[in-house]
Amino acid sequence: MFEGYGEDNSELWQKSDHTQTGGGFWMQDEGGSLNAVYDLLRSLGVRWFMPGEVGEVVPRMATVSIDNLERDTTIRPDYPLRYANWYNYSGFSWHDVIWGRRIGINSSYHVLGNLGYAHGHVFVHRRDAMKEAHPDFYALIGDKRDTSHKGYGTACYSSEGLEQETIKFAQFLFDHYDEPHVSLWPTDGFKRCQCDKCAGQSPSDLVWGFIDRVGRALYKTHPDRLVSGGAYTSYVEPPGNVEKFTPNVGVFLSNRGRPRFMNDEHWESFTAQVNAWREKLHPGRLLRVENNRYSLWGTEDEPEPFPIFQPHAMAREMRALKGVSLGDCNEVSQRRAKWYHPALNHMNLYVLSRLYWDADQDVDALLDDYYKNFFGPVATEMKAAIEFAERAYTEAPILAGVKATSATNVALEDRLKFLEMLAKARDTAGDSVYRQRIAMMLDELPEPDDLRQTVARLAEMGDPRKEAPTIVGRPTDSKKFLRSYALVDIESGKAVGTKTRFKVRWDDEGAVIFEIKCDEPDMKNLFVTDDVWTGDSVAIQLETQGHAYYQIEVNPDGKIFDADRHGRLNQRWKSNATVKTERGDDFWSVVVRIPVVDAEEGAADPNHHVVGAKPGMDSPWYMNVGRTRVRPSGKTSWSFPHTGTRSYHVPERFAKMVIE
């Protein structure tokens, strides 16, 4: 703050006793007076599009005229929670901090209090004294209580003792600190407890059943306080064991891929999820968290592969959730107490902040004002370039194994075209601040010559799967020899001593069948887990002609974990596979029958079945089979073909599969 207000700035901002009623602005101040000043300045044409003087637009006027200066106007934003998650807030420059205030971002304090919103339940069970006194509060993983995960431990959500401790913790916050809210969001990297009480319950039932029970107890003592959790990863779907949440429970619907909301299929999936939660929540109890750090690509010195402009996707959501959601807690692109790549990322935060205040405004009019004032004589060229980039990103097909929101889905040719459009606009802008702004954008992107060389090199290389091994299966009634394939070391591709072999068949009802036999010299120590994939298991990845890709994992008990990996991990999808298992003295085996439906049936029910046609030489599938073996000494993974990494999920290394 020295830069903006001098070394005596503490007298301006707050008094020495650091009370909330100090001398003025503080981090958690709602900034009512500031907002009034900035609203007045905006009415006179002042704009703050990005941090610093380069992002500021102040029109020159001989006379400033303010009509009805004595007016008494009350403006209430459509979203009371408009929080950008600042990491190391006090380390940000004055220009960055004041820019956030000027565009209308606020603190989460008045809605959520001091302890934040994400993974807040760790405050109950993270201390060593709690781990020593109450090991029963922690998840049973194998034959041990997990008190070490991420330093916090993993909670057992069937523990009555933990439930009572959580209630006491929340009441203490409410009574002694007058906190408006408590977060019961589990620690990151959720693992399901394997105790008898938790067995057979889904992650959503465990987590949300616990939150509702705690919420009901707190509603009796503190009905005016908010109790929240995050709909996240394996517990993102509403629970089946809670028909209607208690009125004080709120849900943060987390990381739903906002940049893709102009894709109708993705949007319909999101709104269906919103509606499913609304049926179980009381009004005003839905909130949003969106990880907008999509531009944090590689190391901090690397350029962005492509900018993710999402103003229309943001506008679509803000209009739809007005009056439904309390607002957002957004993680935004930042590194080392600086906004990251501000030239490319400022527009998203600027547009979103204005939509928080008025969700029904015409976003195209808002953008036209931005293009006109920020790019001046090349407004038309920059509008065309940014709209091209937004469209190229939204329409890009999701590549196998790549997240739906990743900029790397965008074709290299489109990335190069965008660079060329920017360069042309920069050169047309002449020696001006407009040229400087475009040049800053280009500085945060790859060099055009480097991209041209990459395009040429990949064109010369051709399809990375052209040398992929071919797996041949046969119909179940075939009398011909059926070859088996052996798994190898997943990283090196070398043969391994403990064999795993598989065969592929196709039955006359249109199902693919995998027969997998796992040699096992230590059958008595098989490690079988409820979640399947953290213990001994086999895994099948399938990419059909029109879908990339599906994941189906099976443990020795025949339990299935399956998910659709098309752009994101969709655990609502179920393969409807059936499994037969067998255990011998020195092996265990599974036969997995996976029904396959055509595109029409798949479109009618997108959350069930593998969609594709029988694979042939001209229209093959691509696939991988893997095995995980877990013992106290560690985890070992094998696959066919090998991936060159420790993960099965490397689609460019998949084998080709055909049925003769």
In a domain, 255, yes or no: no
Do 485 and 610 belong to one domain?
yes
Rounded-to-integer distance, Cα 591 and Cα 611, Å: 20
Q: Is residue 158 part of a domain?
A: yes
pLDDT top residue among 591 and 21 = 591
**pTM of the predicted structure, to 2 decimals:** 0.80
> Please, how many CA atoms are within 13 Å of residue 44, restricted to the half-sphere of its CB?
17
* Tens-digit pLDDT profile for residues 22-72: 455 667 778 888 899 999 899 899 999 999 999 999 999 998 877 656 667
The backbone torsions φ and ψ at residue 557, rounded to the nearest 5 degrees and listed phi first, read -85, -5
Single residue among 401, 436, 459 that ends a domain in this structure: 459
Can you say whether the dihedral through the CA atoms of 370, 376, 382, 387 is positive or negative?
A: positive
Q: Phi first, then psi: what are they for 594, rounded to 5°?
A: -115, 110
Structure tokens at 119: 């993974």
Are 443 and 591 within one domain?
no
What's the pLDDT score for residue 69? 60
Residues 129 and 220 in one domain: yes
Which of 375-384, 559-568, 629-638 is the most confident on average?
375-384
Query: CA-CA distance, 154 to 529, in Å (whole number)?
Result: 15
Query: Does residue 504 register a pLDDT over 90?
Result: yes
Instruction: Give residue 8's pLDDT.
Output: 74
User: For residue 11, what pLDDT band results from cuts at 50, 70 and 90?
Assistant: low
Note whether residue 18 is domain-resident.
no
Is 503 among the domain residues?
yes
d(CA 124, CA 162): 8
- pLDDT of residue 416 exceeding 80, the answer is yes
Same domain, 442 and 474: no
- Give 537's pLDDT tier (boundaries 50, 70, 90): very high
CB 83 within 8 A of CB 328: yes
Which of 169, 201, 227 is where one domain is finished? Answer: 227
pLDDT digits (tens, 9 = 90+) for 109-163: 889 998 889 999 999 999 999 999 999 999 998 889 999 998 999 999 999 999 9
Query: Which pLDDT score, from 0 to 100, does residue 12 have?
Result: 62
Peptide bond into 648 cis (omega under 30): no
Number of domains into which the chain is organized: 3
Share of the chain above pLDDT 70, in %: 95
CB atoms within 10 A of CB 275: 11
643 and 529 in a single domain? The answer is yes
Helical packing angle, 363-375 and 342-357, nearest 10°: 140
Average pLDDT taken over every residue of the chain = 91
In a domain, 109, yes or no: no
Q: Which long-range contacts (CB under 8 A, 24 or more apart) does 53-58 make?
A: 53/95, 54/433, 54/436, 54/437, 54/440, 55/99, 55/342, 55/346, 55/374, 55/437, 57/373, 57/374
**Is residue 627 domain-shared with residue 541, that is, in the same domain?**
yes
Alpha helices in 572-615 (DSSP H): 599-604
- Among 177, 202, 227, the domain boundary falls at 227
Q: Tens digits of per-residue pLDDT, 165-200? A: 999 999 999 999 999 999 999 998 888 899 999 988
* 302 has a pLDDT exceeding 80: no
**pLDDT confidence of residue 125:** 97
- Statement to judge: residues 576 and 641 lie in one domain: yes
- Determine contact, residues 124/80, Cβ cutoff 8 Å: no
CA distance 158 to 168: 17
| Neighbour count for residue 130 (Cβ, 10 Å) | 17
Domain, as residue range, for 155: 116-227
Residues 653, 643 contacting (CB under 8 angstroms): yes
Same domain for 639 and 582? yes
Task: Assess whether pLDDT exceeds 90 at residue 279.
Answer: yes
Q: Which residues pair with 102 in a beta bridge?
A: none
- Is the pLDDT confidence value at 18 over 50? no
Distance of CA 251 to the CA centre of its chain: 16
Q: What are phi and psi of 641, to 5 degrees?
A: -75, 170
Confidence bin at 330 (pLDDT 50/70/90):
confident
- DSSP string covering 268-308: HHHHHHHHHHHHHSPTT-EEEEEE--TT--SSTTSPPSS--
**454 and 475 share one domain:** no
Tell me the residue type at 167: I
